[in-house]
Amino acid sequence: MELRHLRYFVVLAEELHFGRAALRLSITQPPLSFAIRALEQELDAQLFVRDNKSVSLTDAGRAYLLESRAILDRMAHANATARSIASGKSGRIDIGFTGSMVYREVPQIVSRFFERHPGIEVTLREMASAEQVDAVLHGQLHAAFVNLPLVPEGLQGLALLKDAFVCCLPDSHALANRK
């Protein structure tokens, strides 16, 4: 069965006139008639009652119309979904982060991402930096917020923060006043 046969059937069922249906489909009447006959033969069911002056749906045709519309609607939805994902307007992204990143820029970055890409579902996974790198390399994460001195081979990195490391000591410690 061809999808275009379903489209032809639905348009003919809506128009109940071969000439108008063919015009709406931008085809001539003979290919429409041929497609409808082929569909009826394939289904082993008469979908239309035809006489010289009119076309009407049979009971089988009415039932088939409901299902055909549902199939065409699902197909249109599937096409729209695929286009939306391919264009980056919707989809899903899995992002890893280290626990300490919760107190840094990650929440703001993720918030801005949500604002700019409302159709994207974001899943955040807390993991150690080494686990995140492995997950990105193996396709289990799309991106990772890691704390590493160097970007591992096979990945690209973007520096988000420069950390100042501080050693905290009690005031009474011998090294407390050194710079």
Does the pLDDT of residue 26 top 70, yes or no? yes
In three-state secondary structure terms, 101 is helix
The answer to whether 152 and 140 have CB atoms below 8 angstroms apart is no
The pLDDT tens digits for 164-174 are 667 777 888 77
DSSP run (H or E) holding 144: strand 143-145
What pLDDT, on a 0 to 100 scale, did the predictor assign at position 164? 65
The answer to whether 9 and 64 have CB atoms below 8 angstroms apart is yes
What pLDDT, on a 0 to 100 scale, did the predictor assign at position 84? 84
The pLDDT tens digits for 143-153 are 888 887 778 88
All domains in the chain, ordered by first residue: 3-85 (1.10.10.10), 89-179 (3.40.190.10)
Scanning the chain, the segments in alpha helix (DSSP H) are: 3-15, 18-25, 29-43, 59-86, 106-116, 129-137
What pLDDT, on a 0 to 100 scale, did the predictor assign at position 111? 87
The pLDDT tens digits for 121-134 are 888 899 998 899 99
**pLDDT, mean of residues 8-12:** 97
The pLDDT tens digits for 50-105 are 988 889 999 999 999 999 999 999 999 999 888 888 887 888 889 898 887 777 77
What pLDDT, on a 0 to 100 scale, did the predictor assign at position 89? 82
Report in angstroms the alpha-carbon separations of 170 from 52, 60, 146, 167.
102, 87, 30, 10
What pLDDT, on a 0 to 100 scale, did the predictor assign at position 151? 81
Strand duo 55-57 + 48-50: pairing: antiparallel
